[in-house]
Amino acid sequence: MFVFSRKDLPAEPVFPADLKKLGYFITEYDQIRKISAPKEEFQFKINRNERWNEMQREAMNTCIRNIVLSRLRSLGLITLRLPLTARPTDAHVPILVSKNLSTASRVIVVFGEPVQDLGIWAYRTLSSEGIEVGSAVAFARAVLNQKDDTDGKSDTALVLANTGQLVWHCGSGQAMTLTSWPCIPRESAVDPPLVMTRRNKIPGNGDWQEHIQYVFEEILAARGRLVRANAKIGVVGLDDGGLGVIRYLASNWEAWRPYISAICLTSPYHRMGVDFGDKEDKDSKDPSSFVSFVSSRCRGYVLSEQALGLPVPAPQHHGCNCYSSGEVLISECIMPKAWKDMLKWLNTTFEDPDYCEANLMFREFEGNMGDAMERVAELEKEDD
């Protein structure tokens, strides 16, 4: 039997959170490329030992997070700690809000994917297509640069919630995702990961559903204090973030009905008959119900080969119209492709409180395209 002392164990790999020291640079097109091979993107696999690969990726992601947060802050976004009573050293999750949150008549709140870091849409897009494309930077700039016609100031505020970084690491004093947790430095490369305890829970934000509820009830509901009393809210939900929004609003619709302007979802996960409560059939006939709101002022963007913005049938019944995102394969890449179309929709609903989107019906036809077009014309006459 072999017994190894602590000094005989392989040392933990260490990678600096510095882009240049990692061997990369930012191109003139805002892409991340190798210094030694400027046409090559980030290389994940650098060692047969996965620990080396994971630690290098976390160092790279830390660099990216710092760059993205710096750019978002330069746009005027500031950090709020949740819970709101938390001190800097207490367990908390950071979110970003624009400085005009308390004065703007419109608020756009984004609930991202629970697997992503604050302000990040997709690391793969960010590296290959550009830092501002794969992060919330371009989106935030577009939202905050919208000027009011009367005084030329931005009348739209932005809230970037944080459904991902909900694990508190006491040693570093920061919140992190479940992806980052295994990359906390260990005594050796073969030591087991840290075990989570109650100390790693963030009060009121123990999981992404709790976090969504906290943002609604402690930030967006603070009318006359944190947000303007009559502010209208446009909601963007990404994947599970969108599911959490639908579940929360379905259970609290009476309180939020006067304030929610519209909802945009990427890769919607909710299902009619599952996430809308027991009174769904009855509510579908009530124009003031959440079911009716979803059918007329909510839309989903899904994976599709069709061009961006074209209506497409959804594989499941979501109770809202679905549109092509222009992304074919990966759901986390929907937001970088579709946010401009989503923002246009949100602006339409802000400007017209009575706007209702007609429910789209899809019918399949057999035969060639000419026969199908003739049949469509016949159906349109029947509908008239």
User: For 104-146, what is each residue's pLDDT tens digit?
Assistant: 999 999 999 999 999 999 999 998 999 999 999 999 999 999 8
* Residue 37: inside a domain: no
Greater model confidence, 264 or 377: 264
- The whole domain housing 356 covers 77-383
Q: What is the pLDDT of residue 283?
A: 57
* Residue 50: inside a domain: no
Residue-wise pLDDT tens digits, 297-331:
999 999 999 999 999 987 668 889 999 999 999 99
Instruction: With beta carbons less than 8 A apart as the criterion, state whether 282 and 291 touch.
Output: no
Residue-wise pLDDT tens digits, 224-268:
999 999 999 999 999 999 999 999 999 999 999 999 999 999 999
Q: What is the pLDDT of residue 382?
A: 45
Q: What is the pLDDT of residue 205?
A: 97
DSSP 8-state assignment for residue 227: B
Instruction: With beta carbons less than 8 A apart as the criterion, state whether 17 and 63 touch.
Output: yes
DSSP 8-state assignment for residue 220: I
pLDDT at 11 over 80: yes
pLDDT at 180 over 90: yes
* Residue 52: inside a domain: no
Residue type for position 197: T
Distance between CA atoms of 289 and 236, rounded to whole angstroms? 20
The CATH number of whichever domain residue 360 belongs to comes to 3.40.50
Half-sphere exposure of 315 (CA within 13 A, CB side): 6
The stretches of 145-239 forming alpha helices (DSSP H) are 208-214
| Cα distance from N-terminal residue to C-terminal residue, the chain | 86
How does residue 381 score in pLDDT terms, banded at 50, 70 and 90? very low
Distance between CA atoms of 90 and 170, rounded to whole angstroms? 9
Q: What is the pLDDT of residue 372?
A: 42
Residue type for position 377: A
Q: What is the pLDDT of residue 86?
A: 95
Count of C-beta atoms within a 10 Å radius of residue 223: 13
Q: Return the residue matching tokens 């992404």.
A: 208
* Residue 321: inside a domain: yes
* Residue 3: inside a domain: no
- Show the tokens assigned to 92: 């908390």
Residue 163 burial (C-beta neighbours within 10 Å; 0-12, 13-18, 19+): buried
* Residue 212: inside a domain: yes
Half-sphere exposure of 346 (CA within 13 A, CB side): 29
Greater model confidence, 48 or 278: 48
Instruction: With beta carbons less than 8 A apart as the criterion, state whether 52 and 61 touch.
Output: no
Q: What is the pLDDT of residue 279?
A: 54
Distance between CA atoms of 237 and 191, rounded to whole angstroms? 38
Q: How many domains does the chain have?
A: 1
* Residue 54: inside a domain: no
Distance between CA atoms of 332 and 317, rounded to whole angstroms? 21
Instruction: With beta carbons less than 8 A apart as the criterion, state whether 276 and 293 touch.
Output: no
Q: What is the pLDDT of residue 254?
A: 94
- Show the tokens assigned to 108: 């756009």
CA torsion sign, 30 to 32 to 38 to 39? negative
How does residue 273 score in pLDDT terms, banded at 50, 70 and 90? confident
Half-sphere exposure of 367 (CA within 13 A, CB side): 9
* Residue 32: inside a domain: no
Residue 210 burial (C-beta neighbours within 10 Å; 0-12, 13-18, 19+): middle
Summarize the confidence of residues 39-54 as an average pLDDT.
92
- Of 82-86, 193-197, 211-215, 335-339, least confident by mean pLDDT is 193-197
Q: Return the residue matching tokens 């929360």.
A: 248
